[in-house]
Chain A
Amino acid sequence: MQYFDVLGLAPRLALDLKDLEKRFYAKSRELHPDRFVRAPHAEQQRALELSALLNDAYRTLREPIARAEYVLKNSGFDIGEQRSKDVPPELLEEVFELNMALEEADQPQIEAAGVRFDKLRAEIDQELATRFGQWDQAAETGTLAQIRGLLNRRRYIENLLRDVNVHLSN
């Protein structure tokens, strides 16, 4: 996987962000245009391209969610799949109820839901961290499938929290 390669890392989901940052700066210095002023044009070009890749890699890998999506995509998972598979029915039920509350502008219910979904997101993040470690130990497709399920739920919750916050700030 290119993004890991360019930073000299093996594909891992649980990354040490300090180490990642250090690698990014070291590589950035290596590829700095100043070091290539006297180099042949082709080499300058190559350094420029690598530096663009390096920037993309760092931006993606430093965010756990973006990192997981990158690994999933490069492991043959379709991220953009827009279906309810992998979303538990209870969550759909709850999403529906919250939307009803938003429509009816039921303030106390919206506030309570905001708190509940915040907590749910924290729980999902915790479980994601566990699964990340698991995948790093033994790169099994089953673990990735579970991670995708968690990411789907998280996205739902993320969208809802955005709606809740918009509502509460009005």
Chain B
Amino acid sequence: MAYSDKVVDHYNNPRNVGSMDKADPNVGTGMVGAPECGDVMKLQIKVNPATHIIEDAKFKTFGCGSAIASSSLATEWLKGKTVDEALDIKNTDIVNELALPPVKIHCSVLAEDAIKAAISDYKAKSTVETAVTA
């Protein structure tokens, strides 16, 4: 099975690898994994609390090329979107963009799970924050 050019590109030059301060109230962290293959993916977003726009996104993934490419692409797509727009990113969009074969679809599912997890972490934090300041 050959990886598509886009997967290879993201794998060789992953975008936005790194991490942000988990304790920052404007940072949402999503940590997901697939027990079957041992993959683990951390995806973080930094949100502007006034505009709800995702200003930065970082990831670090331990897993196969498709898992790395899926999360790399996800961070590219996240930047500039509002939190609600980001929730509309579907794993099928990732599958199409990267031309993932059926056996690698679970990698895109993982990336979608990571996005959702990061957003819900951010939302949980920001409601707490608002409650404290209110």
A82 touches B37 (CB 8 A): yes
Bound state CA distance, A105 and B63, in angstroms? Answer: 17
* Interface bits B113-133 vs A (CB < 8 Å: 1, else 0): 100000000000000000000
B54 interfacial by beta-carbon distance below 8 Å: no
Return the contact of A87 from the options B33, B62, B106, B109 (Cβ within 8 A): B33
B36 close to A93 (CB less than 8 A)? no
Q: Is A83 an interface residue (CB 8 A)?
A: yes
- Compute how far the CA of A163 lies from the CA of B33 in the bound complex, rounded to whole angstroms: 16
- Decide if A156 touches B62 in the complex (CB within 8 Å): no
Give the bracket for the number of chain B residues in contact with chain A: 10 to 19
Complex CA distance for A100 and B106, rounded to whole angstroms: 23
Instruction: Flag whether B46 is at the interface (Cβ < 8 A).
Output: no
Query: Are A92 and B109 in contact, with the CB atoms below 8 A?
Result: no
Q: Which residue on B lies nearest to A162, using beta carbons?
A: B38
Contact of A83 among B31, B38, B62, B113 (CB under 8 A): B113
A82 to B109, CA, bound (A): 9
- Which residues of chain B are near A95, meaning CB under 8 Å? 33, 38, 40
Q: Are A84 and B33 in contact (CB under 8 A)?
A: yes
- The answer for the CA separation of A81 and B35 in the assembled complex, in Å, is 9
Cβ distance A144 to chain B, nearest Cβ, rounded Å: 17
Q: Which residue of B lies closest to A81 (CB)?
A: B36
Whether B31 contacts A159 by the Cβ 8 Å rule is no
| Interface contact A80-B36, CB-CB below 8 Å | yes
| Residue contact A82 to B32, C-beta cutoff 8 Å | no
Binding site for A on B (CB under 8 A): 31-38, 40, 42, 60, 62, 106, 109-110, 113
